[in-house]
Chain A
Amino acid sequence: MIRRAIFLLAFLLIYCVQIDHSNRDFQPISLKTFNLSYDDTGYEIIPGNPKRIVSLAPSNTEILFAIGAGDRVVGVTDYCNHPPEVLERVARGEIKKIGGYSTVNVERVIALKPDLVIASYGNGLGTIELLRKYVYVIALDPKDVGGIERSILAIGKAVGNYENAEKLVFEMEKRISEIKAKEKSYKRVAHIIWNDPIWVSGKETFIDEAISIAGGINVFNFTGWRIVSVEDLIKANPEVIIVSSGGGMGGERNVVYEWIISDKRLKGIEAVKNGKIFVIDADIISRPGPRIVDAIELINLFLNS
């Protein structure tokens, strides 16, 4: 229902509430600045080498696979779909689904007899605390790119793949620094998540940070996500519009994109006039995982195309 539409938002909303990364000056990577002693719920992160890992968020699953711990994952959520290997292994029955993101099926998790559960704040504290009675859990709540990097290192530490995690973070930082080294276009950008009603991203969101790293400026100044009117959108007059989508091109319709190009009221907007409307895979921009850098690079591409 509408909750499904809102689900998209839920991911975003839950992950980054009230953060301040305005003008985070870029620093060459120094891994020591991350405190990896405790997780985001204040529990100690114990270095280990778990054999049966359950991931309670798509981002955690992506991180686990990216740092080479994917072969030890035994449970994921209904929404974990990346890398494609996850789906293949689910289809083969090697990985079990343990429920939704905000509706984790605790019984299913425990039945998998995991020795580590990597949870996310969005699973709900009730669920996380309940699981802690039975199994070792670390829970993460990154709020910006730095927080994502810390999550990667924290997971690396907890699963015994710290070196790989470090390499991944280093690579991410390198790519981000390359983008930052480029000349900024300072184009005015709007990120439209949904068209009915019109949800857009404001400040203190992942995409806002991605836009700013990529050299653009978010036209919406409020904090978080909001519904705006068509008039608000026209007034903001973005030079580039980014639309979230589940898939790519290849003939699949993107209703939000189609709405923007076909609604006569939007014709006067700079981005519409100049055809600067781009589709970005919602998964890469809404999940606090390593693919956030792909999103930043893509946005940079959009801004400079």
Chain B
Amino acid sequence: MRAILILLILIFPAFALSIQVNGNCVNDELYIYTDEPSFLILRMNYGYPIYANASPQQPAIFVPRITGDLLVTAISDSAEAIKVIKIKECVSTRHPSYEGRKTLPSGTFEEQGRKVNWRTALGALKKACEILGDTYSTKLTDWGIFVDCIRRICTGNLGKMSGWMYWVNYPEKPLPGVPASEYPIHPGDEVIWYFSRSMDEKPETSPYVLRIKIGPNYEIQIKLKWESKIPPKADFDFIPENPIVGEEVVFDASKSYDDRRIVQYIWEIEGKTFEGKVFRYRFENEGNYEIKLTVLDDEELSDSIKKTLFVRKPEMSNRFLIHGERLIDLGFGSLRIKAEKAEISIKKESCKIPFYYVKGCFSLKSNESFSAFLESEEELKVLDISNDRWIGVNRENEKYIARLFHGKFAVLTPWEDFPMKKDDERIRKALEYLRTLQKDDGGFGEKESLFSATSWAMMAIASAEENPEEWKRSGKSPIDYMREKIGEEVKRMGTTDLARTILALIYSNIDPRNFEGYDLVKMLKERVKDDGRIGDYVYTTIWGILALKAAGEDVSKSIEWLKSVQNPDGGFPWIAGEKSDCDDTSAAIQALMLAKEYEAVDRAIEYLKTCQNPDGGMKYFGESASNAASDSWAIQALVSAGENPMKFKKDLNCIVDHLISLQADEGYFKYTSHEVSNPGYMTVSAIMALLGKYHPMKTLPIYKMKLEGVENTTIKMPTQIFLETYIDEITMVMEKRGVLIEVEKLRNVEEYMRLKNASFYLRIDSVPEAAIYITFAFPKQREFIIAKFEDGKWMELKKDFVNQDDVYRYHTVFSRIPGYFAVSEKFEEEHKKEDKIAVETKTPEKTPEVQKIEKTKQIPGFELVLGIIVFLVLTRIRK
């Protein structure tokens, strides 16, 4: 074809018809003249033909968009002619003759040290400003050139978020995704520069708009909308955010702004009106209050905003001077306090305890010794929150009596109707269905095993208190599958994938710090940013918090970040700044409960209430239908926050009933009432939720360490473990081999081995058996007993005083491990009455003498010195 055309060029030039072409630049007009009226066929690079007419008076105008060969064929009545023009990129700033003052030239200009094509959205702006005799200015950013000011209206002039935006061919075309300097424009385009005050500003709503219409020959028409009167924008803050009754609240309208000047600030509260930019107010009653601010500018334009504020009841705090005995009514029972002379303070506290209704929660403090008994006619349970242990309740003379001491206590009655038992028919059926999803490689999935689906399945299995290791298909368990796949999966894992894997492993009693050689916890920690955020998003941070906390890491900074992204409606978004959604809010509640952030949790639960549909189920977002996943997330959140989900109702329909209604006869859970989608995931979510299990369901044994074959190695406990267990350090005795030691704090132990008044239990495992010294550091003002469970009973271990500092007293006990230990606080009175603690004292089997070393003050490196000394001492003992 091409050869024929070239041949044609060679054959036809003798004819009279001639073609004259002016111009040969890309994106520039080409003027094609013929010496008699002709029909033109234009082909760019021998592509699709474009037809036009030309005559000596009326040239055809063509704008090539790419470089290459333009083949022009002219056909007149009597002759034909062909011409090939090389189209080139022209970058010079030449001003063609047809360019008037109001035409956008071809070529480039310089902006921020960069060459910018005139025929771009930025070029159009520059030209428009030149025509108007106005100015604009730019800044260079990571994104490229950014327009800062036009006609002296600059970024930030109308509020923090305000700035210039451009849009070509609004609204037919999408908002451009490139800087204005890179957005080419063509004849017929309309470039709109508008000043945006918020994310939802559109050209038609903006007060400052520059519309630049590009004509067929790049001539420019400008339309300007420049409102001279711009209404002000009202906005305000108040502190404190959650005031209590009677507390002074400061309202500050400094965030309001105007292009000119705000002259009046009018506040409306409780039907009263106040004036002033800053004003102070005290609320007399508990409740929600609506505050309205109206601002007026000097052009008499106004704007209003409403915000709601919640005023809490003041916390109960009472001091009582006790001489002898006094009975104090707490509302949910009475507190009988006996003391010779003591000032007792009783302070109302807030607490949220899963699976219990909280009748009351308070702390008890005194400077002197006292004895206190909580008395009630109704049966109750009392939890010592400070030590996370139950307090015995006795029945005497038709009353239930619990003995209290210093600390924080919750008086509780259990939920009767939730959660489901693990042998409930519906749970069994769901688990049976789950079994059908297991594949021959041990993994789980709808069609084939998937790593994520397998993690979810492991969590559900563990939530039913079964061991995933024992769920085998063709001899392989889900953990075998994960072991096999971790190597290839780990490279592609996102933050949530890592977190989910860690949780699934911990729930299955497997150490994620060394899973097939991978330290998944370390990998997740590497994703924690300086501000506490984990990964980039809210949902990644939530998952990260749950997993890191389960692994015993400190997540306080991440919790702070999470709190900072809570939306004003109380909900949490998936990305900071986005709208709240129900699932992310439910997940955030579980993370916040780890740090007992009750205030944030209460606000989040208020938001969750707006997520409930009239059928009792939860939507994900907007107006969506209730679905099993959102139901499950919300139930888990409610349980973790101590709210009985059976009481979470809308129009008498309960969330739990809704979730149960989605179970099919085959055992799986449908996504919505008429849609089956991802039944495996819906089923695992429902199993965990209906069993009342929330994240993290389990935490890693709080410390696991490998002591390599050096004798007398001393391991200093990380702060986290020390704070939980009072164990300061552990020293190995006479072991040459490597020993793996695992320390786990237990809230509860089997009935037969419960020790009355135990603060907590410790399980210290070792492989193989070993002998250790454990150094405990107990708060100085409190006395503790350490007991070990041996031959079916508890034996008190002999404690050797080592030293003390300002806060702690250090004692060492010697024991062989593995074994169970109990730590209980010793009360002076009980001590006198001796039989309160059923502990037999016995000298441990082999108690080498430990030289008592005085530790005067906590100085850096002291532990090391102490370690060396202990080492030397022990070496000597051995000899």
A residues adjacent to B (C-beta < 8 A): 1-5, 77-79, 83-84, 97-100, 102-106, 108, 124, 126-127, 130, 177, 181-183, 195-198, 227-232, 245, 247-252, 255, 259, 261, 278-281, 283-284, 291, 294, 298, 301-302, 304-305
Contacts and interface: CB of A to CB of B under 8 A. Distances in A.
B524 to A, nearest CB: 12
Given A182-B65, A280-B177, A83 B620 contact: no
Given A183-B67, A195-B536, A301-B178, 9 more contacts: A99-B622, A102-B677, A104-B625, A108-B623, A124-B677, A130-B674, A196-B540, A248-B176, A251-B163
A298 B633 contact: no
Interface in B567-625: 574-575, 581, 583-584, 587, 613, 619-625
A126 to B, nearest CB: 4
Contacts of A261: 142
25 contacts: A102-B675, A103-B624, A103-B672, A104-B625, A105-B623, A106-B674, A124-B675, A127-B675, A181-B47, A183-B66, A196-B536, A197-B494, A198-B492, A245-B177, A247-B175, A247-B199, A248-B165, A249-B143, A249-B178, A250-B163, A278-B177, A280-B177, A301-B178, A301-B183, A305-B178
Contacts of A100: 619-625
Interface string B192-203: 000010010010
Contact of B539 (A2, A127, A248, A294): A2
B629 interface: yes
B419 interface: no
Which 6 pairs, one residue from A and one from B, show the smallest C-beta to C-beta distance?
A78-B622, A197-B494, A100-B624, A248-B175, A103-B624, A229-B491
B173 interface: yes
A99 to B, nearest CB: 4
Contacts of B765: none
Interface in B616-662: 619-625, 627, 629, 633
B497 interface: yes
Contact of B621 (A78, A98, A249): A78
Interface in B528-578: 535-537, 539-540, 542-543, 574-575
Among B143, B491, B621, B623, residue most surrounded by chain A Cβ atoms (within 10 Å): B623
B182 interface: yes
Nearest to A104: B625
Among A1, A5, A182, A294, residue most surrounded by chain B Cβ atoms (within 10 Å): A1
Contacts of A84: 171, 202
A145 B777 CA distance: 71
B90 to A, nearest CB: 16
B165 A227 contact: no
Contact of A103 (B48, B199, B535, B620): B620
A18 B496 CA distance: 28
A279 B66 CA distance: 23
B44 interface: yes
B179 interface: yes
Contact of A106 (B68, B625, B676): B625
B184 A301 contact: yes
B867 to A, nearest CB: 40
A248 B68 CA distance: 33
Interface residues on chain B, size class: 35 or more
Contacts of B182: 305
A284 B199 CA distance: 19
B625 A196 contact: no
A1 B584 contact: yes
Contact of B495 (A98, A196, A305): A196
A125 to B, nearest CB: 8
Nearest to A108: B623
What is the predominant secondary structure among interface residues of chain B facing chain A?
loop
Contacts of A99: 619, 622-625
A242 B516 CA distance: 36
B623 A4 contact: no
Contacts of A3: 583, 620, 629
A177 B48 contact: yes
B676 to A, nearest CB: 7
A67 B55 CA distance: 40
Among B66, B587, B621, residue most surrounded by chain A Cβ atoms (within 10 Å): B621
B96 interface: no
B493 interface: yes
Contacts of B174: 248, 281, 283-284, 291, 294, 298
Interface in B408-443: none
A102 B67 CA distance: 47
Interface in B648-690: 671-672, 674-677
A255 B537 contact: yes
A259 B539 contact: no
Contact of B199 (A77, A108, A197, A252): A252
A66 B674 CA distance: 31
Nearest to A103: B624
B45 interface: yes
Contact of A126 (B142, B171, B674): B674
Interface string B342-380: 000000000000000000000000000000000000000
A130 B674 CA distance: 8
Among A3, A105, A228, residue most surrounded by chain B Cβ atoms (within 10 Å): A3
A279 B173 CA distance: 15
A253 to B, nearest CB: 9
Interface in B152-196: 161, 163-165, 171, 173-179, 182-184, 196
A103 B177 contact: no
A98 B537 contact: no
B199 A227 contact: no
B587 A249 contact: no
Contacts of A231: 491
A294 B177 CA distance: 12
Contacts of A302: 178
Contacts of A98: 623
Interface string B119-162: 00000000000000000000000110000000000000000010
Nearest to A242: B177
Among B142, B174, B540, residue most surrounded by chain A Cβ atoms (within 10 Å): B174
A153 to B, nearest CB: 20
A284 B496 CA distance: 28
Given A98-B623, A100-B624, A127-B674, A250 B196 contact: yes
Contacts of B671: 102-103, 124
B361 to A, nearest CB: 31
Given A106-B674, A294-B173, A249 B179 contact: yes
Contacts of B164: 250
Contacts of A105: 613, 623-625
B30 to A, nearest CB: 17
A274 to B, nearest CB: 13
A229 to B, nearest CB: 4
A252 B201 CA distance: 13
Contacts of B184: 301
A83 to B, nearest CB: 6
A130 B673 CA distance: 11
Given A3-B620, A103-B619, A250-B165, A197 B492 contact: yes
B677 A78 contact: no
Contacts of A232: 492
Among A79, A177, A182, residue most surrounded by chain B Cβ atoms (within 10 Å): A182
B156 to A, nearest CB: 10
Contacts of B494: 196-198, 227
A304 B65 CA distance: 11
Nearest to B493: A197
A124 B624 CA distance: 14
Contact of A182 (B66, B163, B619, B623): B66
A251 B173 CA distance: 20
Contacts of B497: 197
Contacts of B45: 183
Among B202, B537, B671, B675, residue most surrounded by chain A Cβ atoms (within 10 Å): B675
A279 B171 contact: no
A251 B148 CA distance: 11
